[in-house]
Structure 1
Amino acid sequence: MAIHWLKSRFNAEVVTVTVNVGQEDDFSEIENRAYKLGVLKHYTIDARDDFANGPIASAIMLNALYEDKYPLGTALARPLIAEKVIEVARREGCDAIAHGSTSKGNDQVRFEEAIKAMAPDLTVIAPARIWGMDRKTEVEYARRNNIPIPEVHSRFSIDDNLWTRSIEGPELDDSMVEPPEDAFKWTINPSKVNESLKLEIEFKNGVPVAVNGEKMKLSELILALNRLVGSHGYGRVDHVENRVVGFKSREVYEAPAALTLIEAHRDLEKLIYTPIEYRFKRLMDQTWTDLIYQGLWHEPLRIELEEAAKAMNKWVTGVVKVTVRGGLMITGRSSPYASYSKEIADYVKGWYPSDEEARGFISMWTLHSLTAYRVRWGSGVS
């Protein structure tokens, strides 16, 4: 419909672009519909490996879970989609870029931030913000102008890619309503899982490279885990999210691979990093994640945090054992760079400080706190 509207409103010659970041769409049908609506040219761009090896790899290294829940699937994809669209716009000599976001969503910020950064000379047009039509009016407009409307097989609005499947719909807007089972596609109901799935995930420099000894490129590894882990009932997210545009929204996602890989990666970091590194890294992770969600891909700190994360992740190499059955449990981990020492930690044969060493350590360790405590409340306060 936006194609017809752009041609009518601006007398525009329209070039359309579909960027494949792993969504389950019929790309041939999309192209055919575009040409039937009179576009000058249509591009379908396969960016799945770019998506996996770029934004997703960074999200794994930085344990990206917005508000401890959302693995950022849509937010990660938008800047890459904008980049690919800009490349086509330059090739075709376009003077404007149009996107389909409304004024109520986060994606308008993500798309337009990227366009302003990479192509500030191009005009941005957001038809759905301008025309002010609701869904009913849009359908009437389409019928009035003989625009074919794709057959809808679900009452839910779905946005999916390699990393997450986002589920929206009117019945989910009530934060107390349990999502119906037909909303889910990647995951089965945890109550129906009868046996456990055991996995060994191998990481190299912070990025997963193999599952159960089988080496795979990252995009294939993610697809494999979405299928395996989702079939064992793990990977659903249901939470209330603080949007960029000023209100809370109830969001439902499926992300079996994302949740598994982030949990495994974070566990491996804990094995390897010093306590100071680990706690500082958590601050980095949260800051980077907030920047991505908020549509600030070209904020310099995002780039700087990624460089720091790559430097820290050069030690994050090893294997994590995972058991999945409705939930996920880490059951083992190893790394050539582990700071963990069985010889020290062993309670039977391990290292023990002498009584004198222990007393000295306790005295020095508690001195700051106890001095302040006594000055403020005296030794008689419990």
Structure 2
Amino acid sequence: MAKDIKKVVLAYSGGLDTSIILKWLQETYNCEVVTFTADLGQGEELEPARKKAELMGIKDIRIEDLREEFVRDFVFPMFRANAVYEGVYLLGTSIARPLITKRLVEIAQEVGADAISHGATGKGNDQVRFELTANALDPAIKVIAPWREWDISSRTQLIDYAEKHQIQVPKDKRGEAPFSVDANLLHTSSEGKVLEDPAEVAPEYVYQRTADPEQAPNTPEIITIGFEKGDAVSVNGVKLSPAELLTKLNELGGKHGVGRLDLVENRFVGMKSRGVYETPGGTVLLAAHRGIESITLDRGAAHLKDEIMPRYAELIYNGFWYSPEREMLQALIDTSQEFVAGEVTIKLYKGSANVIARTSPYSLYSEDLVTFEEGTGSYDHHDAEGFIRLNGLRLKTYAARNKLAGRS
């Protein structure tokens, strides 16, 4: 196998793990390594990754700003579905993996690489997401997963390897890191170590993107979000690009402590995992999107969307973004969004993001129909009598049968 690999494209963060993987690939496969670092809005300076790769002899170093593509082509389509995994998780890590892998595969094809490589561990979901995406985009591409191949099995061994090969070990990585963090423009995810016992309260220092709701401003903040065809396009009347808009909502939501989640979830690989997530902008966006849908979607369409949403969310969580079934569901969801347009008013206050008003030129809401005052006569109260009688017919029949059988 090693002889077949001449060039590999590595998903490279510049951190300890992927720096060790870079060296391990060079040693194990004696191959050329191309590094790829994606800027998805993780909030870190990426130039240090370039310098580290240069120090390790890498000639082809790719660093790309994918923030707009990430929000436009991955986050927004997912939010049209109101997708949440297991009822609460907004899929911030899950939705980033298909884009990173897409670019890994494209670069591999461009440079004639034999394989791509990632730093996901053998216990996590990310290995599945990377590799299923690669399978869907290029069935011939090989995927190297070092955590499933090498004999390194602990943080201590990882650091020993780094020091042996003169790979810089950040001071905060000496010993055991307090927890593991993944971040992008949609969320931050913290897992492991201090968070591994779900009976223990997560320490406040784990949170990086949101204020403590108890310490958030004592005055509510009112904002408006504009929508066109199911996608948010403006905040407080100012048109923004997808990435700019999510950045703005992160700022507003984070200030008010919105979007914290402490979750024990069911991983696709079969184990339960505890994670602490912060998704301030996404939490605000979800509330606003459901708010505008409440007046623009027909009841049947809205309820059908809610029925398929768990399946759609599970597909993303499990790594099937490029599957035919996800694309089929996306087509259905996108069709429903044609008239999802207008403005939603949200109140941000101490950890909450609540819809307090909504308006749309395509609203299905009829004040004349629901008013307690005299309407124009388009609704006849007497019609309800027959409606109730027909719907109650089977219940009467069921009750009569039970009475005959002596059941109460």
2:341 to 308, 314, 317: 317
* 1:263 is aligned to 2:283: no
2: distance between equivalents of 1:241 and 1:45?
A: 31
Closer, same or farther: CA 313–356 of 1 in aligned 2, 3 Å: closer
Secondary structure in 1 matching 2:48: helix
Structure 2: which amino acid aligns with 1:8?
Answer: E
Structure 2 residue runs of 5 or longer lacking an equivalent are: 1-19
Closer, same or farther: CA 109–274 of 1 in aligned 2, 3 Å: same
CA deviation after TM superposition for structure 1 residue 367, in Å: 1.6
**Are 1:345 and 1:351, in contact at CA under 8 Å, matched by a contact in 2?**
no
1:145 to 139, 152, 165: 165
1:273 to 271, 285, 297: 297
Aligned 1:62-81 pairs, distance under 5 A: 62-81=81-100
Higher mean C-alpha deviation, range 164-173 or range 101-110: 164-173
1: distance between equivalents of 2:286 and 2:30?
A: 48
Structure 2: which amino acid aligns with 1:183?
Answer: V
**Are 1:200 and 1:322, in contact at CA under 8 Å, matched by a contact in 2?**
yes
2:30 matched to which residue of 1?
11
* 1:181 is aligned to 2:181: no
2: distance between equivalents of 1:166 and 1:339?
A: 38
* 1:43 is aligned to 2:62: yes
CA deviation after TM superposition for structure 1 residue 355, in Å: 5.8
2:11 matched to which residue of 1?
none
CA deviation after TM superposition for structure 1 residue 238, in Å: 0.9
1:162 to 181, 185, 201: 185
Structure 1: which amino acid aligns with 2:274?
Answer: R
CA deviation after TM superposition for structure 1 residue 126, in Å: 0.8
Structure 2: which amino acid aligns with 1:196?
Answer: P
CA deviation after TM superposition for structure 1 residue 151, in Å: 4.1
Q: TM-score, normalised by structure 1?
A: 0.96
**Root mean square deviation, CA, Å:** 1.8
Higher mean C-alpha deviation, range 71-80 or range 276-285: 276-285
Deviations along 1:270-308, one digit per CA (max 9) or x if unpaired, are 222222111101122221111000111222110011111
CA deviation after TM superposition for structure 1 residue 365, in Å: 2.2
Higher mean C-alpha deviation, range 366-375 or range 279-288: 366-375
1: distance between equivalents of 2:405 and 2:376?
A: 34
Structure 2: which amino acid aligns with 1:290?
Answer: E
Closer, same or farther: CA 319–379 of 1 in aligned 2, 3 Å: farther
1:330 to 355, 365, 368: 355
**Are 1:197 and 1:229, in contact at CA under 8 Å, matched by a contact in 2?**
no
1:121 matched to which residue of 2?
140
**Are 2:38 and 2:64, in contact at CA under 8 Å, matched by a contact in 1?**
yes
2: distance between equivalents of 1:359 and 1:274?
A: 24
2: distance between equivalents of 1:202 and 1:381?
A: 56
Deviations along 1:247-285, one digit per CA (max 9) or x if unpaired, are 111111000111111121112212222221111011222
2:17 matched to which residue of 1?
none
Deviations along 1:49-95, one digit per CA (max 9) or x if unpaired, are 11111011111100011111111111111011011111111121111
CA deviation after TM superposition for structure 1 residue 42, in Å: 0.7
1: distance between equivalents of 2:68 and 2:214?
A: 34
2:263 matched to which residue of 1?
239
Aligned 1:82-97 pairs, distance under 5 A: 82-97=101-116
2: distance between equivalents of 1:360 and 1:57?
A: 44
1:206 matched to which residue of 2?
230
1: distance between equivalents of 2:367 and 2:143?
A: 59
Secondary structure in 2 matching 1:80: helix
Secondary structure in 2 matching 1:16: strand
2: distance between equivalents of 1:368 and 1:276?
A: 23
2: distance between equivalents of 1:336 and 1:175?
A: 47
Structure 1 residue runs of 5 or longer lacking an equivalent are: none
1:347 to 366, 369, 372: 372
**Are 2:178 and 2:194, in contact at CA under 8 Å, matched by a contact in 1?**
no
Deviations along 1:301-347, one digit per CA (max 9) or x if unpaired, are 10011111111001111111110112121101111222211111111
2:383 matched to which residue of 1?
357
2: distance between equivalents of 1:230 and 1:28?
A: 26
CA deviation after TM superposition for structure 1 residue 13, in Å: 0.9
Percent of matched pairs sharing the same residue:
36
**Are 1:101 and 1:129, in contact at CA under 8 Å, matched by a contact in 2?**
no
2: distance between equivalents of 1:205 and 1:180?
A: 40
2:4 matched to which residue of 1?
none
* 1:190 is aligned to 2:190: no
* 1:251 is aligned to 2:270: no
**Are 2:190 and 2:277, in contact at CA under 8 Å, matched by a contact in 1?**
yes
* 1:53 is aligned to 2:72: yes
How many residues align? The count is 382
Secondary structure in 1 matching 2:102: helix
Structure 2: which amino acid aligns with 1:176?
Answer: A
2: distance between equivalents of 1:360 and 1:166?
A: 54
Deviations along 1:192-215, one digit per CA (max 9) or x if unpaired, are 121111111111100000111111
